[in-house]
Structure 1
Amino acid sequence: MAHLLGAEALHLDFPTKTVFDSVSLGINEGDRIGIVGRNGDGKSSLMAMLAGRLLPDSGRVTVRGGVTIGVLDQADTLDHEDTVSHTVVGDGPEHEWARDAKVRDVVNGLLTDVPWEGRVGSLSGGQRRRVALARLLAGEYDVLALDEPTNHLDVEAITWLAEHLKRRWSASSGGLMVVTHDRWFLDEVCTLTWEVHDRIVEPFDGGYAAYILQRVERDRQSAAIEAKRQNLARKELAWLRRGAPARTSKPKFRIDAANALIADVPEIRDPTTLQSLAVARLGKDVVDLLDVSVAYGDHEVLRDVEWRIAPGERTGILGVNGAGKSTLLGLISGAVQPSTGRVKRGKTVKVATLTQRMDELDPHLDEPVRTVIGRLRTSYTLGTGSKAAELTPGQLLERMGFASAQLSTPVKDLSGGQQRRLQLLLILLDQPNVLILDEPTNDLDTDMLAAMEDLLDSWAGTLIVVSHDRYFLERVTDQQYGIFDRRLRHLPGGVDEYLRLRHEQQRHSSGSGARSAALTDSPTQAQPGLSGAELRAAQKKLTSVERRMEKVSTEIGKRQTALADHDQSDYEGLAKQMEGIRALQREQEELEEQWLELSEHV
């Protein structure tokens, strides 16, 4: 493969530490490189040096003649007074850029809800990020360097971006460097992984899943080196092999070696024990949303939402920006009152929310971490059953990546990622039994995300998650719901089903002009072509399925109530009851699939 650019003996010093020491590497045609590592270890600095944005203290970067490099920075560099159209496509007439299939794809993929002739300064932060990304992708570059490109993008936009990058160049041309904590994106796009750590850059073949396997092998060979990271990586590998079948098809993922590595690794969560503990803490009633609608003036956000949240339920919520996800979370927490319908809460329910803001830390900014944590609890129980362990707040902090020296650091001097982790620990130490996570992955690197996931695996309570990080969402939740046309809808097929349904919405939406169909939440149109007899038969079948769905839902509720009254020390009996409940839930999912298919025809 032809060489695009290379680095020789790069050395970089910051005032307080040496970031890189004699790093040499290169990028060839066809390379798609994901750059991973802990916050502060130099991922963005490495990419900036390779892209020519940052000069090393010694060493050099050479670029093949004629090679062009496009860079997406984390910082917002757009002109506030410029229009969106001029920012993205410049001064050229519309017929010229509209004739370019790649530019049309970029505009349709990222900017359908952005005012095309609007001023950049009037846009939201997320919209500005998409405009900056669209401007870059509309250009012609041999190498793209993307620093956190998925920030402020929803699941749909992230999926579109992955597909765009996979087809942007032929397999043997172009080069890509990407720094991101989005592990699904890394696995979907990248064929090489560079891990930045301890002043070096270590290369691995394959995307994130293959990198995890190779890192586990490396850690096993070095025995005691970074034992904590090894355990977390093995647990994550177990989930990658057991919980995400799509990832096993990666050609560089050595299945036999993976199976040998995880042979003695238990399931990431013990659902029976967690369920019984959740029932013991919450009882049979958690939060029930009963025919709830929410409107702000004339603007209806949610309509006829019926959701009975069970003890120990772990649910992810999906929806476009503005669909009503935050309103739904507010109904659960009590911050939002319904316009119609009723919200019923169990007597023992204690809800805590990890918000996108960090308001919980504001009163403690000048206090050392040790003081803030020690004020709440002297111990925290982690794990379940025979694996339960009592941890001090200091041990819990260490588990989440805090060094002992940082216990004396004032909260205001912590990095964004450290403050995010501290925010979660403060909430957990307050012992809630219903935990709401609203975009919890912001500012966290992949290792810290794995540590957070490990912590949540042993948390016995009801978990509701809103996140654009598909990997995190699939990893910590057992089921997903989506908000479509102001209604809540169960997604038996998870994120893939959500994306399929959104695609159908867009296909049936009206639109015109160079930017195609707008992403409005319009209901799916009736399918033409059914005769009168076929339509009546479909309606009859639909009614039958709806009756059975209602019976199954009632039976699940009864069995969950019986589970709450069952002897909590009878683990065998609990397991048998849970298996019965899971069988009914599987039937419920199959019925929902039938209902969806039939409803499209009726």
Structure 2
Amino acid sequence: MAHLLGADGISLTVGTRTLLDGISLGLDDGDRIGVVGPNGAGKSTLLRLLGGTQAPDAGRVTTAGGTRVSMLVQRDESPAGATIRDLVHGSAQTHEWASDAGIRSVHEGLLADLDLDAPATHLSGGQRRRVALAALLVDDPDVLLLDEPTNHLDVEGVAWLADHLARRYGRPGARGALVVVTHDRWFLDAVCERTWEVRGDGEIDAYDGGYAAYILARAERARAAAVVAEKRNNLLRKELAWLKRGAPARTSKPKFRLDAAAALIDDEPPPRDSMELTRTATKRLGKDVLDLEDVTVRVQPRTEAERERTLLDDVTWRLGPGDRYGVVGVNGAGKTTLLALLAGRRQPDEGRVRRGKTVVVAELTQDVAELDDVGHLKPVEVLEREQGTVVVDGKELTAGQLTEKLGFTRDRAHTAVRELSGGERRRLQLLRLLVAEPNVLLLDEPTNDLDTDTLAALEDLLDGYPGTLIVVSHDRYLLERVADRQVALFGDGSIRDLPGGVEQYLRMRADGVGASGDASTAAAAAPTAAPAAVPAEAAGPTPAEVRAAKKEIARIERRLQRISEAEAKLHAKMAEQATDHAAVTALNEELRALSTEKESLEEQWMLAADVAG
């Protein structure tokens, strides 16, 4: 395979931090590399160095003769007066590119809903990202560098992009290489065959495989390092014990022994940055949580050319205690509006939103604009204003201790909020919400700006969250990890249940659901029904139905586990309050409700098990 690009001993220092220290790496034809690492470690900087838009302090980056390198940056800017056609095709005439099947595929995947002659300055963030991606894919460079390409894309767009890149750079004999910085772990697994971890201490670790293989290899390296550390500690203990022994009259120890002890101590590697999202208490949630009852929401036109749109049309949706929903949908279908209704920030045009008396809602918005009002404060001060101390796992923690657990160093915890990075702002706002002990948590694209380690910590936190959880996200990995059920908004005014998860959503979109009113209505009638000509008994379940059944089994088992834990707590409370007849009666009613739900879930489990085999 031909060599395309190489970095030889590159180093870069920003302020007092050394991001890269003598790094050497290369790209050959067929390489598909994912770049991961903590926020601020230097992932985007590495791309700029490889792309030639930034020069290293030392070392050099070279490209093979004739190699074309292009880069997608995180900020998509459009020159004044430029149309979409100008940005994607430049001065090329239509006949020069319209006959190319590859270019037509890019148009269908990214630009199908856009007018090529429309001014680019009027585009939304997601549309600008799709136009920028289309321009790069149409140009088809030899080395493609992508910095967070999935930002602002919906689930459908992410799936299309992953498929396109895997086919373009992964086919046998393909010329070219791909390097992508992303926090989307599903995308990393779908596209990449190698992983570079930018550690932030000057080093880059290389791993074979995508995200899943990287996590396994990293865990194995950590295990091996722990074994080495244990051996080193044993030697250190022996060495120090020897130094303490000997006659009291001796005033010095043999120098070689002191040197040996110093060498052991110096060999201790610096600790990696840790991230711990803290589980705080949650206020008790009653039987009634949030109900949308016959809700209709309309969006008024902003210009004369637009028409009034109905985002939700006579929708009824009931959320119970402990429900965990993931929400997907086409851009503009009303996902963020749905969260605004649940949070009480918006009222429906028709119908009503009914809230339980004990409901305490916390909402993490996309842009975290809530922090703008406290931009002059430090993270520690922000949390102190919310609540001076918080009890976590039976221990009382101060605001300073909480920020440390959230991954803020002492310096960053005392930096003005307006100077924090996007990931730091999102972490701070999340903790700010949690200290209020909400029992309903609404998350709008929570993975934006977060690195993969922080995402893992967030998912661990949400695993143990006992309240009601609603997550709007294009991150398939997150949705399948934390949500028990998924629903979709197709832009036709309804909320559809998705027993088959994101895979079912993508199939429905491929079948035209949501593309137009007629297609939506026709396809929605029986999205998972078997063809009428083939009896279900004879045909058997399809692979997609088997996968959906297995996901349903996993969801049911998680819920059954939570029910068992809830039953145990209720039994303990009944024992404590045995003399309080009213309390015991109320607890018994809760037990009966759980028992009824348990029986229903067990029946659903049996049906799903029959399909899964």
Query: Structure 1 residue 519: deviation in Å?
Result: 12
Distance 1:478 1:365 in 2: 36
Moved more, 365-374 or 161-170: 365-374
Distance 1:172 1:182 in 2: 27
Query: Structure 1 residue 451: deviation in Å?
Result: 2.2
Residue 241 (structure 1) aligns with: none
Query: Structure 1 residue 458: deviation in Å?
Result: 2.5
Query: Structure 1 residue 217: deviation in Å?
Result: 1.2
**CA deviation vs aligned residue, 1:27-85 (integer Å, no higher than 9, x gap):** 12111000111111111111111122221111111212222212111232432311111
**Aligned with residue 500 of structure 1, among 507, 529, 534:** 507
Distance 1:124 1:105 in 2: 22
Moved more, 494-503 or 350-359: 350-359
The answer to whether the 8 A contact 1:292-1:303 is kept is yes
Distance 1:312 1:165 in 2: 39
Residue 128 (structure 2) aligns with: 128
AA partner of residue 222 (structure 1): A
Query: Structure 1 residue 578: deviation in Å?
Result: 5.2
Distance 1:459 1:379 in 2: 20
Residue 306 (structure 1) aligns with: 316
**Aligned with residue 572 of structure 2, among 569, 573, 577:** 569
Cα 1:472/1:525, change in 2 over 3 Å: closer
Distance 1:163 1:458 in 2: 34
The answer to whether the 8 A contact 2:509-2:515 is kept is no
AA partner of residue 298 (structure 2): A
> Secondary structure in 2 aligned to 1:20?
strand
Residue 212 (structure 2) aligns with: 209
AA partner of residue 450 (structure 1): A
Query: Structure 1 residue 11: deviation in Å?
Result: 1.1
Residue 448 (structure 1) aligns with: 454
Cα 1:477/1:571, change in 2 over 3 Å: farther
**Aligned with residue 187 of structure 1, among 182, 186, 189:** 189
**Aligned with residue 219 of structure 1, among 207, 217, 222:** 222
Query: Structure 1 residue 95: deviation in Å?
Result: 3.3
**CA deviation vs aligned residue, 1:203-262 (integer Å, no higher than 9, x gap):** 001000110111111112222778887898xx9xxxxxxxxxxxxxxxxxxxxxxxxxxx
> In terms of Rg, which structure is larger?
2
Distance 2:398 2:111 in 1: 48
Distance 1:320 1:21 in 2: 43
Cα 1:345/1:565, change in 2 over 3 Å: farther
**CA deviation vs aligned residue, 1:118-155 (integer Å, no higher than 9, x gap):** 01112122211111110000112221111111111111
Cα 1:132/1:521, change in 2 over 3 Å: farther
Residue 457 (structure 1) aligns with: 463
Matches within 5 A, 1:371-410: 371-382=381-392, 391-410=397-416
Distance 1:583 1:304 in 2: 31
AA partner of residue 523 (structure 2): T
**CA deviation vs aligned residue, 1:525-577 (integer Å, no higher than 9, x gap):** 889xxxxx99xxxxxxxxxxxxxxxxxxxxx9xxx9xx899935279999997
The answer to whether the 8 A contact 1:7-1:60 is kept is yes
Matches within 5 A, 1:430-445: 430-445=436-451
> Secondary structure in 2 aligned to 1:92?
coil
Distance 2:10 2:129 in 1: 31
Distance 1:456 1:526 in 2: 34
Query: Structure 1 residue 180: deviation in Å?
Result: 0.8
Query: Structure 1 residue 179: deviation in Å?
Result: 0.5
Residue 421 (structure 1) aligns with: 427
**Aligned with residue 297 of structure 2, among 294, 319, 330:** 294
Residue 137 (structure 1) aligns with: 137
Residue 73 (structure 1) aligns with: 73
Distance 1:525 1:453 in 2: 32
The answer to whether the 8 A contact 1:112-1:519 is kept is no
Distance 2:378 2:457 in 1: 22
The answer to whether the 8 A contact 1:417-1:443 is kept is yes
Distance 2:29 2:599 in 1: 50
Residue 350 (structure 1) aligns with: 360
Q: Does 1:581 align with 2:597?
A: yes
Q: Extract unaligned runs of 5+ from structure 2.
A: 230-268, 301-307, 527-531, 534-558, 576-587
Q: Does 1:488 align with 2:495?
A: yes
| RMSD after superposition | 3.6
AA partner of residue 524 (structure 1): A
Cα 1:442/1:142, change in 2 over 3 Å: same
Distance 2:606 2:317 in 1: 18
**CA deviation vs aligned residue, 1:475-531 (integer Å, no higher than 9, x gap):** 22221111132101111111111111111126x957xxxxxxx9985642889xxxx
Q: Extract unaligned runs of 5+ from structure 1.
A: 236-268, 511-517, 528-532, 535-555, 595-602
Matches within 5 A, 1:79-118: 79-118=79-118
AA partner of residue 36 (structure 1): V
> Secondary structure in 2 aligned to 1:452?
helix
**Aligned with residue 180 of structure 2, among 178, 185, 198:** 178
Matches within 5 A, 1:11-22: 11-22=11-22
Q: Does 1:365 align with 2:365?
A: no
The answer to whether the 8 A contact 1:144-1:176 is kept is yes
TM-score if structure 1 supplies the norm length? 0.77
Matches within 5 A, 1:468-547: 468-484=474-490, 485-505=492-512, 509=515, 523-524=522-523
> Secondary structure in 2 aligned to 1:419?
helix
Residue 551 (structure 1) aligns with: none
| Matched pairs, number | 513
Cα 1:124/1:446, change in 2 over 3 Å: same
Residue 253 (structure 1) aligns with: none
Moved more, 488-497 or 91-100: 91-100
AA partner of residue 138 (structure 1): V
Distance 1:568 1:349 in 2: 24
